[in-house]
Structure 1
Amino acid sequence: MSSPKFHPIKTNEQLADYIPQCGKVELRNPNIANMEEDVLYHISLSNRTQDLKEMFSDVKFVCFGGSPTRMKKFAEFLVEELKVKISAGQALYNIAQGSDRYVLYKIGPVLSVSHGMGIPSLSIIFHEILKLVYHAGCYDVIFFRIGTSGGLGLEAGSVVITEEAVDGLLRPYMEVPTLGMILQHPSKLDQEVAMELMSLAVPASDGYSTVIGKTMCTTDFYEGQARLDGAFCDYNEEDKMAFLKRVYARGICNIEMESLCFAAYCYRAGIRGAVVCTTLLDRLKGDQITSPHSVMEEWQARPQKLVASFIKKRLGIE
């Protein structure tokens, strides 16, 4: 069997400059409009069995994060920050509880959803959430990825706002095997949203630094990120440090496993998006995450607080 051939994107839509959607969210897939029912299988919803417009039409912000527990805590945090009233005796409800893959919480005009670990898991939920806001008739939606990462040349606990995501070869696009061809999707993010987020960071009072920079996204946690502590390793400490110093010199501030897909899909959809991650260690100083759990809990809340500040500003909440 012949190997897939390299086939760059050539359609006008995909070659066009990034143009954010204004108004009602639209899909770039004509097949969806002709389907009698669209089952969003992994979040246990359907545009036929549920009234998605009634449930979700007011959504303006979608916040993705890897851990189900973390995204529940973020939802609980937003209840307080956005002053959302929950009836006595009631609690936050996992809308996706009919599936055991992801969690989905709605807090006023915000969705808090888990995406799992790595590009394949994020890809699935991104497709279904984008279709959800389309079926719901949402307007002017902004997507965020809130997560953790390994930093480069940054003190642990720093926050990185991604200006551009690159792959493990430092290429600013995601390759997707499609119909036996390799398609390339640019992985650019909305710079206006990034700058607005940056304007809300106040290092003097925050007690930690927030920076804008490039993020390297890998498909592997160990060898893909030049760690020495995996089950396999075909390089030494000198090789590892040479690589990390090289990517650091190219403007890479942090390394994680989802930003490339998130950025490429936001760009492809015309959705304004941002990636905000805390750093759990400086990879120029080591491989293993050894900070106490309580410390990491506080670090992981930092991107959440920044995104919450952005949402509150947009909603006019003091």
Structure 2
Amino acid sequence: MTHNSFYHIGFGRDDLGSHPPTLALLSGDPERARLIAQEHLQDVRRLSENRGLNSYVGSLPNGRPVLSATSGMGAPSLSIVVNELVQVGIRQIIRIGTCGSIQPYVPVGALVISNGALCRQGAANDLAPIEYPAVADPFLTVALVKAAEELEVEHYLGITASVDTFYEGQERTDSANPYLMRSLQGITEEYRRLNVLNYEMECGTLFKMAGVYNFAAACVCAVVAQRTVDEKVILEQKDVAVKNVIAVALRAATSLIQ
């Protein structure tokens, strides 16, 4: 760690070497960031594990340098990490996440590639007006779709509901708080009828940051819950789904032009 390290991510430009990465693979889970780095990248070097925001630098099979970094859970944490990553030179970000499907035809184990987000996130409101579009970069998104097709992984392209809370905000009542405000009662069915595919907690703010900060962002998530059936995460199928989402993101990343 150098003297010019950023407070939250725990490293700075000088820590990235003579050929610094401009692409980051961003996971909410620090263990996923570690797994991507240690099992899929070459010449891996740990940059920081500050505050659980694990970051590693390595290279893809084609030699391109890349960061595997942790955003933490939710938009406020992600907004801090992404701001600092942009300051160290990152210009492309692919979020590799998990999500819950709200459409009956999008099963657990499949992937959702977000081309835009219904953004119901307070952090995003500090970036731009609520009407500001939360859209993915088309080139990164096409790369993800092509990678999923080539790997023959079941995937769906569409709109994601990006919300701030896991329980109330996604209309879960099987929790410490079984009461939902009237504004949230029936929200999942409303989103389903609007052809929203899934719930997650980060990409809306990521997409708005990309527009405001002028970088490219995309998001691919493994479906680990089927909300038309149950509120719970299906742990038995999570490992395979996460393995597939990592494989698709890495293949897409390898195909990109620097």
Specify if TM > 0.5.
yes
Please, which of 71, 96, 101 is the counterpart of residue 151 of structure 1?
Answer: 101
Aligned residues of 1:166 and 1:260 also touching (Cα < 8 A): yes
Show the counterpart of 2:62. none
Distance apart, 1:315 and its partner CA = 6.4
Q: What's the CA shift for 1:44? A: 2.1
Secondary structure of the residue aligned to 2:164 is: coil
Partner secondary structure for residue 240 of structure 2:
helix
Distance in 2 (CA, whole Å) between partners of 1:285 and 1:309 is: 32
CA RMSD of aligned residues (A): 2.7
Identify which of 126, 144, 168 aligns with 1:223.
168
Give unmatched runs, 5+ long, in structure 1.
Answer: 1-36, 87-91, 135-140
Mapping of residues 253-268 of structure 1, within 5 Å = 253-268=197-212
Counterpart of 1:166 (choices 98, 108, 118) is 118
Rg larger in 1 or in 2?
Answer: 1
For normalisation by structure 2, the TM-score amounts to 0.85
Percent of pairs with identical residues? 22
Shift of 1:234: 2.5
Partner Cα separation in structure 1 for residue 37 and residue 256 of structure 2: 18
State the alpha-carbon separation in 2 of the partners of residues 163 and 42 from structure 1.
29
* 1:106 aligns to 2:57 (yes or no): yes
Alpha-carbon spacing, 1:72–1:225, altered in 2? closer, same or farther (3 Å): same
Q: 1:1-318 to 2 correspondence within 5 Å?
A: 39-46=5-12, 51-52=14-15, 55=17, 57-79=19-41, 84=42, 86=43, 92-97=44-49, 99-108=50-59, 109-133=65-89, 141-153=91-103, 154-168=106-120, 174-176=124-126, 183-184=129-130, 185-202=132-149, 206=152, 208-235=153-180, 242-292=186-236, 295-314=237-256
Shift of residue 225, structure 1, vs aligned partner:
0.2
- Structure 2: how far apart are the matches of 1:155 and 1:183? 34
Distance 1:93 1:107 in 2: 6
User: How many residues of Structure 1 are paired with residues of Structure 2 in the alignment?
Assistant: 246
Q: What is the CA distance between 1:57 and its match in structure 2?
A: 3.7
Check conservation: 1:174, 1:186, Cα contact below 8 A: no
Q: For 1:186, what is the secondary structure of its paired residue?
A: coil
- Give the match's secondary structure for 1:43: coil
SS in structure 2 opposite 1:59?
coil
1:183 CA displacement: 4.2
Give structure 2 stretches of 5+ with no counterpart.
60-64
Q: Once the 2 structures are TM-superposed, how far is the Cα of residue 200 of structure 1 from its aligned partner? A: 2.2
Counterpart AA for 1:144: I
- Matches of 1:191 and 1:315 in 2, distance apart? 14
